[in-house]
Structure 1
């Protein structure tokens, strides 16, 4: 919509009279600046021009510059006097009254030759490689007289079409900020995916029935500080145990166990949940479980005084457990076993009774824990377990023949445990001459010699109740009898320990029978029969785990 083109610029045939507000300096038209007002006749070379601005009406009459690109609203008056052929152009900010002195005042002669009989009044604009926008907010025109004044309050506001020019700092910062934003989003996605993998669990539909017993891996991860070594309580044959603090501030012990059992995982979890229903003051409470990838996590009550073996074989400079504490521990474990064998809705065979699996609470009460090898079966039925598992020295000899753990095999392990607690010795000990001392044989020998209480832990320095010590040692030997049928049940054991029933008078030679003959009578195979019980138990002490069972 330009006024004229380069071919007809300045021609009288244009019949053009214009007032220009020019924001671009064009030297080919002799522009005075990039911010001027001019009067044009038939072309773009102004017949009169001045920088945009106005004159004050005060005594000084100072000139005030105005920027045409300031986005500041302005008012312009264009007046032509036909008698004098005088054309005046006056401008001022919108909030300033019309100045008395015009910005431009020019005589336009022969206006009749410039304006045809038919003329149009209006607005036009043009641009080149640069551009700016001008807005007409309102206008007034009149022939033969002054144009009506504008109602300033009714004028619209300037529209916002683009942001203010950016600073150099913004031009530098914006790309960097954009790149950082993209990087941050990518990092966030990576972290979320990594966290999802980190906390991924194995969960199947059938586990919904065990709901309250299932912990989330995320909760256990945070409770143990990411299974930090600082939280490690111990390492056993079946996994690592960590101390944790749940969001509820409850302290727990979390055991990580690798699982690869041939037994169905569904059956395995069902047993875990069933064991979780056990409630007894002398059992460590199994609170629940979590499955993740190749791991099973078992959650137990936390026992602040740790495992019994650390008190029996730990720092020799520490105060040894007193006889009173030991006797209470033995009775506590016996009470827990009685509950498992007789008093719960099913029979629970623990299969791994030993000092390291007995934990002590803050009052030093014993709690039998680690049910990772436990098996359940209904009262009045036979167990179907056929995998030999347990720890050498605590394993009943019949397990090598039948492979079936039973209440009687638990009683055998408890007998070894009683001797261990009373004597402060492990069931099988490697001595300095590379020989192996089998605890049950040693105690039996001292009984035959009439000095059974000489085997009591020397750290007690004789400070023990001799009658109670004799009871524990003889009962430990009775429970360690090689024939399952000769061992007492846990109810009888508790009656003996409580003093409700006296221990039968037993000859010190009751176990001095030919072990080979006893085992032949029981139908043991020739390989097993080639070893007496003491030799079989004397192999290097280690945990025999059911590798196929994976617990």
Structure 2
């Protein structure tokens, strides 16, 4: 017995030691070759031959690179970091870059591409809810710069306006004075950033490579430290969330530059390990200047050589001009002045063309009346889905792009993330996160393509979509009406989690705004009675569609199926009939093996509750979540009070619609075209 207890004791000790080691690894790292680093990259950021390349010769764009693993910061947490950077100006001095501590590693839509170092914009600048610390290395000497120097280091707290800054310089021991240091010289520069969580003191120091690390006043008590370039008393516990990410942000505006990180050391809770300068990769060499022209010889041979050379150059220039105009036409975009504020969310057509291999057919994911969707891959390795939407005119385009920008700011684990857009004459391209498992519609109805979903997977998908709708209706800054909830618009990620997508019919409303009648759009079987009668969409019309969606998933059939017997054509009416007969279990999808009868019965009743004719009798999505989680009991309902969205539609009409449509999912316009409509 004693031996067993002793073994158990040592097992506990080993687990504790391993957990401490893992925690320590998460709180410190050292990178020389960034191709081996676990980084989250976006925008222009990429790994270039082992170097972290933040920005390039693209104007008005951003690049971000963050350590993927978050760190826990408490009130007394200290940190220390050391990195080597190089900025190679290609035109002017660029905009600059920054070391950033942020509550999110995704700053793609936070920073304006033309300024603000890719971190802040006009809407979020100087907001306490940013929770951001940035050490900026600013090379912007334009009149738009908020600070007074075009070559400075600054400490930024939740704003692009520095709380303290100084012209870039370092202390030269030989000369005994500070020497100006050009940030955009193309040379490697060292920077040390130290924060003492006890003293609430932040120090920043610069030096050219290979200057040895100065003694930090934060982590040394015996040696007289060198005065840092910047020293500021700051209580970061009042700024940080508990969970933060560390990384870099850079941007270009009308001028551009290459920005590189060549080595990076970080540690939370102590002194970061000093970088070994011998392991630091040199910044890429810039092309040498052209040789001076040689004096012209009077020899006839030289005249012939010059003539041939001039002719060849002229031919190459003409050929290059033709290729240039061809490529410009091939990649031509529509870009207007008012779109500059959305530039962080705008992709170039050239990049999307390359990502999709020229929109090849073997990259096609799906097609419909809206256009086609293609799979693509960005240089960073991120997989994307590109939807090509065709449009006729510029009318309403400003509002439409503004709504696209709003969609890009939606953040929920059960929404398909809109990454950005691109405009060309006659078409709009929308860029989304790629969902590897396609649509829920395929899993439910394409039996030859995919395996069947289990009961627990279906229940998880329903809960996920409900959570997304609650976020859209109540938890975001505006009320978002999706207006097209159905299985074909639910995409599945790698873990078969349901994500609500296709916001093509969505509408954004300020809270408290009176909703006006609008064009009736949607899909038959999911449209509420009041929508088809009065054209007013509210959160309760989304709830109605969600009810139809629940029945669709549980029963494994579409809301409208004209091939079935007349009494079974409309799923809602068939469920009501079975409910009155107390035979609800007979309509659960026959493809399901094991399922929990009580859960199935709850979902069918919830689907009918959401499908009530009277909008006031339908629950809110918050109530729906309570019912799904078992935190509230579904009220008793009458199966006779559920209402089909088009109460007067006949079976003959449904059958005739089938012969004129390639799918059982019809838009409301199908009815108005065929039968005179409203």
What is the deviation of 1:236?
A: 2.8
Q: Is the contact made by 1:224 and 1:245 (CA closer than 8 Å) also made in structure 2?
A: yes
Distance in 2, Cα, partners of 1:492 & 1:464: 24
Q: Deviations over 1:467-507 (max 9, x none)?
A: 11111111111111122122111111111111100111224
Distance in 1, Cα, partners of 2:352 & 2:360: 12
Q: 1:269 aligns with which of 401, 417, 420?
A: 401
**Is the aligned partner of 1:506 residue 2:637?**
yes
Structure 1's 287 and 337: CA in aligned 2 closer, same or farther, altered over 3 A?
A: same
Q: Is the contact made by 2:412 and 2:471 (CA closer than 8 Å) also made in structure 1?
A: yes
SS at match of 1:417: helix
The equivalent residue for 1:475 is: 606
Q: 1:162 aligns with which of 280, 299, 312?
A: 299
Tell me how large the CA RMSD over aligned residues is. Answer: 3.0
What is the deviation of 1:357?
A: 0.7
Distance in 1, Cα, partners of 2:421 & 2:527: 28
What is the deviation of 1:435?
A: 8.9
What is the deviation of 1:368?
A: 0.3
Q: Please list, as runs of the form range in 1=range in 2, the aligned pairs for 1:413-452 lying within 5 A after superposition.
A: 413-431=545-563, 437-452=569-584
Q: Deviations over 1:219-277 (max 9, x none)?
A: 11111111111111111332211111112211111111112478621111111101111
The equivalent residue for 1:5 is: none
Structure 1's 543 and 295: CA in aligned 2 closer, same or farther, altered over 3 A?
A: farther
The equivalent residue for 1:131 is: none
Q: Please list, as runs of the form range in 1=range in 2, the aligned pairs for 1:133-282 lying within 5 A after superposition.
A: 161-163=298-300, 184-260=316-392, 264-282=396-414
Structure 1's 491 and 295: CA in aligned 2 closer, same or farther, altered over 3 A?
A: same
Q: Deviations over 1:395-442 (max 9, x none)?
A: 112112221211111111111111111111011112167997111111
Distance in 1, Cα, partners of 2:589 & 2:563: 16
Structure 1's 376 and 343: CA in aligned 2 closer, same or farther, altered over 3 A?
A: same
The equivalent residue for 1:544 is: 667
Q: Deviations over 1:134-160 (max 9, x none)?
A: xxxxxxxxxxxxxxxxxxxxxxxxx96
**Is the aligned partner of 1:308 residue 2:431?**
no
**Is the aligned partner of 1:488 residue 2:625?**
no
What is the deviation of 1:532?
A: 5.7
Structure 1's 366 and 359: CA in aligned 2 closer, same or farther, altered over 3 A?
A: same
Distance in 1, Cα, partners of 2:461 & 2:372: 25
SS at match of 2:632: coil
Distance in 1, Cα, partners of 2:336 & 2:365: 30
Distance in 2, Cα, partners of 1:399 & 1:266: 27
Structure 1's 165 and 241: CA in aligned 2 closer, same or farther, altered over 3 A?
A: closer
Distance in 2, Cα, partners of 1:321 & 1:296: 34
Distance in 2, Cα, partners of 1:546 & 1:261: 21
What is the deviation of 1:449?
A: 1.3
Distance in 2, Cα, partners of 1:234 & 1:165: 62
What is the deviation of 1:510?
A: 3.9
Q: Is the contact made by 1:352 and 1:413 (CA closer than 8 Å) also made in structure 2?
A: yes
What is the deviation of 1:322?
A: 0.2
Q: Deviations over 1:102-147 (max 9, x none)?
A: xxxxxxxxxxxxxxxxxxxxxxxxxxxxxxxxxxxxxxxxxxxxxx
Give the alignment's TM-score, normalised by structure 2.
0.51
The equivalent residue for 2:481 is: 349
SS at match of 2:473: helix
Q: Deviations over 1:362-385 (max 9, x none)?
A: 111111011111000012222235
Q: Deviations over 1:430-472 (max 9, x none)?
A: 21679971111111111111111211110113x1111111111
What residue ranges of structure 1 are gaps of 5+ in the alignment? 1-158, 520-527
- Name the structure with the higher strand share: 2
Structure 1's 341 and 432: CA in aligned 2 closer, same or farther, altered over 3 A?
A: closer
Distance in 2, Cα, partners of 1:506 & 1:543: 29
Q: Please list, as runs of the form range in 1=range in 2, the aligned pairs for 1:100-139 lying within 5 A after superposition.
A: none
What is the deviation of 1:536?
A: 7.8
Q: Is the contact made by 1:427 and 1:440 (CA closer than 8 Å) also made in structure 2?
A: yes
Distance in 2, Cα, partners of 1:488 & 1:262: 39
SS at match of 1:387: coil
Q: 2:514 aligns with which of 376, 382, 396?
A: 382
What is the deviation of 1:163?
A: 4.0
Distance in 1, Cα, partners of 2:330 & 2:580: 61
What is the deviation of 1:181?
A: 6.5
Structure 1's 454 and 240: CA in aligned 2 closer, same or farther, altered over 3 A?
A: same
Q: Is the contact made by 1:392 and 1:537 (CA closer than 8 Å) also made in structure 2?
A: no
Distance in 2, Cα, partners of 1:478 & 1:533: 24
Distance in 2, Cα, partners of 1:209 & 1:369: 25
The equivalent residue for 1:464 is: 595
Distance in 2, Cα, partners of 1:470 & 1:221: 49
Which has the higher relative contact order, 1 or 2, with Cα contacts under 8 A spaced 6 or more apart? 2
The equivalent residue for 1:360 is: 492
The equivalent residue for 1:396 is: 528
Structure 1's 447 and 367: CA in aligned 2 closer, same or farther, altered over 3 A?
A: same
